[in-house]
Amino acid sequence: MKSLACGALVHGLALKHGADGCMYVDNALMDMYATCCVSMDDACMVFRDIHEKNAVTWTTLITWVHA
């Protein structure tokens, strides 16, 4: 998902429909914000909100911080 506007829309829908607590959705959102190179602040905001971080969560964060 390279379009930030589309990604922000998906993020809003995830929040509206309660899917933001889903590990897969959260990891995808974090990756989307980091990939769009807007700001790591947005990716970190999603990261902080993830209650159960897994290997994918940590790998995504480390990959984009290191890049």
Q: What is the pLDDT of residue 67?
A: 66
H helical segments located in 1-67? 4-16, 23-35, 40-49, 55-66
Q: What is the pLDDT of residue 55?
A: 93
Neighbours of 50 (CB within 10 A): 18
Instruction: Kindly list the domain boundaries of the chain, sorted by start residue.
Output: 4-66
Q: What is the pLDDT of residue 1?
A: 46
Q: What is the pLDDT along the chain (67 residues), one digit of tens a residue?
A: 457 788 888 888 888 888 877 888 888 888 887 777 666 777 788 888 888 899 998 998 888 777 6
